[in-house]
């Protein structure tokens, strides 16, 4: 064990050195919870990245990994896609921040209006949280109501994060204005609308998380929103451009009043979009949704390039193929190792999430060892995958070979009741804790 620990300290020496420095400068030592050391087995995992290309990332110590989180989802085309890089480089020649609106933001707005049949107006942000917060504010303005019903994850602002266990700093008065409802349960949603009759401004939801909507579910949500006069908002920061070029509308045929997009639209360059019906969007002429970088030209240039690639190349077919191979192979391995009672997999080819249970630690011990063993074999995963256009079948084969070894370690540890002894680093932590 000492020898293994020494080898790990050598493998991740630079990362751990940077982490020690970051502890004196950065709360959590990262700018994003889900990218922090808490999501990987500290001491047996890289902490800092140095560069990336295609479907791969190199840590601060120079070790290459197949990158499955892909920057938490935005890199649908892969790192350093040449068309996106070229568009950014070309824009740099003309400038990136002006004192007036630009034709470029108008052109992207018009293109998105044409792209989504239900969209009549467009506004840009930098993060998905910008778009969801603007949607909530616009809905409150046009309805004259305050209550929000939500389903899924919608960003860091007070109106939503107060419904989670990361609610420190959110006033109780704000928390009371948002209530969460379970997915695929139209009856529960209907009961909440009745409970808050005449007070609900918006129903905001991820139209699909990692579970498919039940037949007729989204249609019923649409009907309930209309019946109660609430604005229906689809948060498509994940599903947008991954499940269909037109997101949930293209996949399921249900149109929201407003929709929020981010992540994949910029392929790593920060940009988000709020789009939808003029009857709600035009409120943003008076509702304050304004910040210096709302029309950032690098994001706009990247988004135009992403849309070009989506129109001209078989991006989603490729991602579906790669993701499908990965899902099928993983499920087969879990079954072969007799771990079906401990490990599950939900989602769709372009985004799928593992679940772990039965270790006495809410699955976190199993997850930590699984990640540890994958990392040792060159696989970066936080227990989920966001396949990209840059990944290939060889990446899938290498990943499944590494997972075969990792699952063998888990199976042996469960059989011999010594799982804890097999964890070389620290146990990972959940982003959201149980209350």
Is 85:268 a contact under the CB 8 Å cutoff? Answer: no
Res 1 pLDDT > 60? no
Instruction: Report the pLDDT averaged over residues 271-300.
Output: 95
Among the three residues 262, 295, 328, which one is the final residue of a domain in this structure?
295
Is 293:162 a contact under the CB 8 Å cutoff? Answer: no
Token digits for 98? 């002006």
pLDDT at 4: 63
Three-state SS for 410?
helix
Question: Cα–chain-centroid distance for residue 41?
Answer: 21
What CATH number should be reported for the domain holding residue 128? Answer: 3.40.640.10
pLDDT at 3: 61
Total domains in the fold of the chain: 2
What CATH number should be reported for the domain holding residue 365? Answer: 3.90.1150.10
Give the whole-angstrom CA distance, residue 104 versus residue 96.
11
Domain match, 31 and 160 both: no
pLDDT at 240: 96
Establish if 301 belongs to a structural domain.
no
Label residue 31 exposed, middle or buried (CB < 10 Å: 0-12, 13-18, 19+). Answer: exposed
Domain match, 245 and 128 both: yes
Residues 19/20/22/26 CA torsion (nearest 10 deg): 110
Give whole-number Cα distances, 419 to 87, 363, 364, 367, 413, in Å: 49, 11, 11, 11, 4
Domain match, 72 and 105 both: no
Q: pLDDT per residue over 60-102, tens digit each?
A: 999 999 999 999 999 999 999 999 999 999 999 999 999 999 9
Res 230 pLDDT > 70? yes
Domain match, 282 and 320 both: no
Instruction: Report the pLDDT averaged over residues 27-49.
Output: 94
DSSP characters over 281-349? HGGGGTS----TTTT-HHHHHHHHHHHHHHHHS-HHHHHHHHHHHHHHHHHHHHHHTT-TTTEEEEEET
Establish if 416 belongs to a structural domain.
yes
Give the whole-angstrom CA distance, residue 207 versus residue 137.
20
Domain match, 285 and 335 both: no
- Three-state SS string over 248-288 comes to HHHHHCCCCCEEEECHHHHCCCCCEEEEECHHHHHHHHCCC
Token digits for 329? 């192979």
Among the three residues 266, 295, 324, which one is the final residue of a domain in this structure?
295
Domain match, 51 and 118 both: no
Domain match, 275 and 416 both: no
Residues 128/130/134/135 CA torsion (nearest 10 deg): 10
* Mean per-residue pLDDT of the chain: 95
Give the domain range for residue 60: 2-79+315-422
pLDDT at 202: 98
Domain match, 110 and 227 both: yes
pLDDT at 94: 95
Among the three residues 295, 326, 347, which one is the final residue of a domain in this structure?
295
Establish if 228 belongs to a structural domain.
yes
Q: pLDDT per residue over 310-351, tens digit each?
A: 999 999 999 999 999 999 999 999 999 999 999 999 999 999
Domain match, 204 and 287 both: yes
Q: Which residues contact 74 (CB under 8 A, 6 or more apart)?
A: 262, 263, 264, 265, 266, 267, 268
Token digits for 189? 């949603």
Domain match, 24 and 154 both: no
Domain match, 236 and 171 both: yes
């Amino acid at each position: 064990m000492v020898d293994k620990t020494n080898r790990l300290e050598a493998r991740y020496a630079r990362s751990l050195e940077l982490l020690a420095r970051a502890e004196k400068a950065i709360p959590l030592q990262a700018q994003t919870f889900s990218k922090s050391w808490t999501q990987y087995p500290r001491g047996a995992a890289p902490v800092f990245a140095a560069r990336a290309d295609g479907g791969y990332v190199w840590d601060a110590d120079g070790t290459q990994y197949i990158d499955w989180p892909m920057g938490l989802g935005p890199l649908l085309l892969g790192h350093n896609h040449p068309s996106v890089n070229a568009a950014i480089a070309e824009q740099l020649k003309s400038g990136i921040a002006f004192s007036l609106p630009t034709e470029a933001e108008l052109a992207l707005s018009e293109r998105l209006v044409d792209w989504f049949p239900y969209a009549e107006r467009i506004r840009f942000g930098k993060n998905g949280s910008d778009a969801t917060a603007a949607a909530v504010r616009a809905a409150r303005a046009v309805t004259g109501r305050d209550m929000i019903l939500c389903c899924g994850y919608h960003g860091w602002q007070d109106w939503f994060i107060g419904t989670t266990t990361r609610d420190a700093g959110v006033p109780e008065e704000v928390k009371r204005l948002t209530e969460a409802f379970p997915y695929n349960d139209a009856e529960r949603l209907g009961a909440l609308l009745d409970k808050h009759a005449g007070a609900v401004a918006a129903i905001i939801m991820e139209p699909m998380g990692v579970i498919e909507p039940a037949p007729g579910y989204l249609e019923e949500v649409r009907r309930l929103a209309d019946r109660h006069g609430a604005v229906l908002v689809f948060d498509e920061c994940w599903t947008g451009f991954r499940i269909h070029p037109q997101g949930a509308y293209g996949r399921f045929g249900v149109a929201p009043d407003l929709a929020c997009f981010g992540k994949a639209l910029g392929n790593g360059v920060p940009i988000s979009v709020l789009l939808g019906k003029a009857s709600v969007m035009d409120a943003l002429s008076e509702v304050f949704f304004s910040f210096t970088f709302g029309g950032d030209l690098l994001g706009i240039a990247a988004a135009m390039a992403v849309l070009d690639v989506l129109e001209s190349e078989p991006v989603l077919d490729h991602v579906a193929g790669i993701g499908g191979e990965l899902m099928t192979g993983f499920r087969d391995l879990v079954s072969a190792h007799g771990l079906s009672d401990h490990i599950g997999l939900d989602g769709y080819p372009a985004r799928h999430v593992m679940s772990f249970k039965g270790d006495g630690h809410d699955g976190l011990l199993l997850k930590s060892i699984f990640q540890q063993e994958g990392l040792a074999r060159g696989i970066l995963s936080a227990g989920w995958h966001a396949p990209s256009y840059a990944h290939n079948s060889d990446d899938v084969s290498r990943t499944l070979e590494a997972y075969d070894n990792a699952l063998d370690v888990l199976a042996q540890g469960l059989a011999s009741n010594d799982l804890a002894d097999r964890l070389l680093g620290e146990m990972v932590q959940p982003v959201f804790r149980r209350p």
